[in-house]
Amino acid sequence: MKRHVVIIGAGAVGAISALEALRRGFRVTILEPGEPGGEQAASYGNAGWLSSHSVIPPALPGMWRRLPGYLADPLGPLSIRWSYLPQALPWLVHYLLSGWTAARVEHTARALRPLLIDAPALHRALAEEAGVGALIQHSGLLHVFPTRADFAAESLSWEIRRRVGIDWIELEGAALRDREPDLDPRYRFGIFVAEAGHCRNPGAYVAALVAHANAQGASLVSSQATGLRIEQGHLQAVLTAGGEIPCDRAVIAAGARAKPLAAAAGDAVPLDVERGYHVSIAGTNRGPRTPIMVSDRKLAVTMTERGLRGAGQVEIAGLARAPDWRRAEVLRRHLLGLFPDLPRDLPAERVKTWMGFRPSMPDGLPCIGRASATPDVIHAFGHGHIGLVSSARTGRVVAQLLADVEPEIPLAPFDPRRFGA
């Protein structure tokens, strides 16, 4: 009889873990209460970046000095709601400490590089297998700065990228203008990372992966995981709102809602969410030829199948509080400022806003590895800002752990127990 694994979560990590587990000969059940790739999913609304160079943690040395400003400005690129601060404080302390020194930042970069390298090629192969190869573009990504001096102010991040094997091309003045003629001319310096890529419709991509897994024999159960039944150190079943699903293995890939399931598997993890927003403008041909990160606005801009998308913002406010749609309006104003030829009188039906939850560990490293209570449960969550790009290799590693095969990358930095009890 085939070993049976329940994949809890049908986001990018869960979908690819399911496909890779099928390859390893497992019987697979995907457990997901919502529509795979639907608007409720983090996979739906991200920037679509396959940024294999995103090895730098969110916190950097000296960031603690800016904390009062983050509390004071509810519409800044990173904000913390006062009402959530007591709950978020332990996470924030870990967050700041993770980037306290350059050595810690480089440690994170060296851990993440094997997880992210070759991501566009891995995703392209998966997309072609699922019949949606055109969604993955090996386009490169462009970081733009007002001046070379503004780039120099971020030198630590780029020096560390260079040390872990990432290369780029500098574009200045006319060279940048030739590449991006629609961009506001105040941006006069750029860094082009050729190894990176993007997905033109992340929600559709994830939906196609789940559909492909289903066609290959995986079952999709529409229900919420509520716990695990573990007896004498072995998994017996995943508990759901609709009853038990007996199984030999389980993968916790539940994203923002993984924390209580991890606790049920014996691991108290400091998972929280970074709420992100996007605004999308449909029906325009004005925008970037290459996906762009705008340094001074902390905004990723991508031309997607659904229109011109500006994605960004980090809001620390938990899962329950209502969205602050003023933050999406900030993104809309940024897009209009970045591309002067965009029409100013856009009808409401052409502008769509969205808010979702990045499941984030405070040190910028996901949790990937076996659970403490039983080796039958695999953790695969907490990918933060790199969920889509890292999902291809995470899925491969998850299947290797399920099959008791040596993982293809070192997993010690991602150990769910690294924070202690």
pLDDT digits 0-9 by tens, 269-298: 999 999 999 999 999 999 999 999 999 999
Mean pLDDT (whole number) for 217-222: 98
Q: Which residues contact 174 (CB under 8 A, 6 or more apart)?
A: none
Residue 254: phi and psi, rounded to 5, are: -90, 10
Q: Is the pLDDT of residue 71 over 80?
A: no
SS3 43: helix
CB 112 within 8 A of CB 386: yes
- Two tokens at 270? 């400091």
- For 113-155, write each residue's pLDDT tens digit: 999 999 999 999 999 999 999 999 999 999 999 999 999 999 9
CATH fold of the domain at 4-61+106-414: FAD/NAD(P)-binding domain (3.50.50)
Q: Please choose, from the candidates 256, 243, 238, the residue with its C-alpha nearest in 3D space to the C-alpha of residue 374.
A: 238
Distances, alpha carbon 34 to alpha carbons 3, 8, 9, 63, 216, in Å: 26, 12, 9, 37, 21
In the predicted structure, residue 1 carries a pLDDT above the cut 80: no
Tokens read off for 363: 């040190």
Task: List the structure tokens of 74.
Answer: 């509810």
**CA nearest to 57, candidates 391, 418, 384:** 384
Q: What is the pLDDT of residues 243-252, one digit of tens each?
A: 999 999 999 9
- Cβ(30)–Cβ(252) under 8 Å? no
**341-342-347-351 Cα dihedral, nearest 10 degrees:** 180
Compute CA distances 65 → 68, 76, 138, 195, whole Å: 7, 15, 38, 34
Segments making up each domain of the chain, as ranges: 4-61+106-414
Q: What would the two tokens of residue 255 be?
A: 């994203």
Model confidence band, residue 344 (pLDDT cutoffs 50, 70, 90): confident
Q: Would you say residue 67 has pLDDT above 80?
A: no
Strands 49-50 and 136-137: unpaired
Is it the case that residue 421 has pLDDT exceeding 70? no
Residue with tokens 């350059």: 102
Cβ distance 141 to 194 under 8 Å? no
More confident residue, 213 or 63: 213
What is the C-alpha to C-alpha distance for residues 118 and 121, in angstroms, rounded to an integer? 6
Q: Structure tokens of 91?
A: 């996470």
CA nearest to 199, candidates 11, 50, 336: 50
Looking at residue 235, its pLDDT comes to 98
The answer to whether residue 105 scores a pLDDT higher than 80 is: yes
Beta bridge pairs of residue 52: none
Is the alpha carbon torsion for 190, 196, 200, 203 positive or negative?
negative
- The pLDDT score that the predictor gives to residue 2 is 82
Q: Which residues 6+ apart lie within 8 Å of 313 measured at CB? A: 77, 78, 79, 275, 276, 277, 298, 327, 330, 331
Reduced 3-state DSSP string for 182-250: CCCCCCCEEEEECCCEEECCHHHHHHHHHHHHHHCCCEEECCCEEEEEEECCEEEEEEECCEEEECCEE
In this prediction the pTM is 0.96
Q: Which of 224, 254, 249, 223 is nearest to 237 (CA)?
A: 249
Residue 183 has a pLDDT of: 98
What number of other Cβ atoms are within 10 A of residue 268's Cβ?
Answer: 14
Q: What percent of the chain has pLDDT over 70?
A: 100
Work out the average pLDDT over 150-170.
97
Q: Could you tell me which of 190, 185, 168 has the C-alpha nearest to residue 294?
A: 190
Among 30-39, 89-98, 126-135, 363-372, the minimum mean pLDDT is found in 89-98
